[in-house]
Amino acid sequence: MSEPVAVTGMGVLTPAGSGERALWERLCQGRSTAASDPALKGMPVDFSCRVPGFDPAGVKSIAWRTNRFIQLAVVAARMAVADAALTPKRWDSRRIGVVLGVGASSMEHWPGETEKLLQGRLRAVSPLALPRSIPNMAAGEVALDLGATGPNLAVSTACASGASALGVAKDLLAADRCDVVLAGGAEAPRASEMVALCFSRMSVLSRRCQDPERASRPFDAGRDGFVLGEGAAVLVLEKAGHARTRRAGVRAWLAGYGASADAHHPTIPDPRGKGAAAAIDAALAEAGLRTGDIDHVNAHGSSTDFNDLFEARTLSRVFDRPPPVTANKGCLGHGIGAAGAIEAACSVLTLQHQLIPPVANFTRPDPRIDLDIVAGTPRPHGVEAVLSNSFGFGGQNAVLVLTRA
C-alpha cells in the first residue's frame, strides 16, 4: 500500500465538447457522439467521434508548428491548471512534472511530406515534420507553455497510454521527484487518413457507416468494432501534503496503479486474462483495497467482439460478483492514447456525482457476458472506489483505482 495522491484539477477536451460539464451531460444522456467525418470522406470507414468546435486559434502561438494532438494537450493542461487554482508564475517550476500518454506518432502531415520526398523535392520537406509529430512533443509543448521544468515524459503503451501516464506520474510523486505532475493523454487519430485506414485494414473499426451514432456499443451482442475518437485529458496530481499546504480542493484520490504485459500476441489480449488480472491485483494492492471494496468498474470496453469478451471474463474471474460496469467509449469513441486519461476523468466525475453513466447503445446483452452493465439511464449508486481499466496493443495492461475525496 502506498500513499494516494490528490487529484486537484482536471482539463478535458472530448467529442462531448470542451470542459467537464459538457462531458458529463453527454455521458449521462447515454448518446454517442459519432458522426460522418469530412476528413475521412472516401475512406472505408468515414465516421468518427471528434472534438466539436476546437479552434487552434486558442493556441495561436504554437498552432503553426504543432499537430492537433499537441494543441489539444496544451489547451487541456491550461484548463487543468486553472481548475487546480495553480499559478505557474508562482510555482517552483523545478518541482512541476509533465507526463502525457500518446499512443502513436501523429501521421497527420506525413503523407504530404512523403509525397515531396518521392517526387525528389527534398528541400520542400518541412523542417517541422518531425517535431510536430513525435509523441513527446505533447508533454514538451505543455511544459514550454506553462513553464514546468521538472521531469517531462511521454508514455506510449498504445491504448493504455493515458492510464499508464497517470501511473508513472503517481510514481514520480511517491519518489519525491515532484510536488505536482500534470498527467494524462492526448491523441487525434482521426486527423490522419493513414491512421484511420490502418485501423480499418486491421478490421477493428465498426462498419456502420449508414448509422454511425449507433456504431460503438461496448459489451452489446451486436458490437462490430470501435469508432475512432480524439481528445485530451490532463489531471493535476499532487502530493497530499503539498495540496494541504496550499489548501487545494481535492476532487478525488488516485490510490492505486497496476501494470503488466501479456507477452502473448502483438495485438490480441491473452484470452486467459492473466496479465489484465495481474494489473488489477497490483492496483488494488497499492490502494490497500480488496475486490469487495470496489463499487464500480469503468471498463476499457472497446466495442470489439474479442476484447469485450476477454475483459468481461477477466472481471468475472477477479470479482466474486463484478460491481456495476460502464464503458465511456460507447459515447466518446476510442481516443487511443488519450482514452485511459479521459476515462480516469470520467471516473472522478462519477465519484463526485455518485452517479454511474450508462453505456451508449447497449440494448442487447451478450449471453456470453455476465456483467451488470449500466444501460439506458444513469444509475445513482454509492461509489467510494472505482476501478478503471485500459488495455492496448503489445499486451499492455494499465489499471487505476480512484477513490472518493
- In the block, cell 488519450 appears at 338
Give the active site residue among 178, 296, 300, 346: 300
Give the active site residue among 49, 296, 331, 334: 334
334 included as an active-site residue? yes
300 included as an active-site residue? yes
331 included as an active-site residue? no
Residues tagged active-site: 159, 300, 334
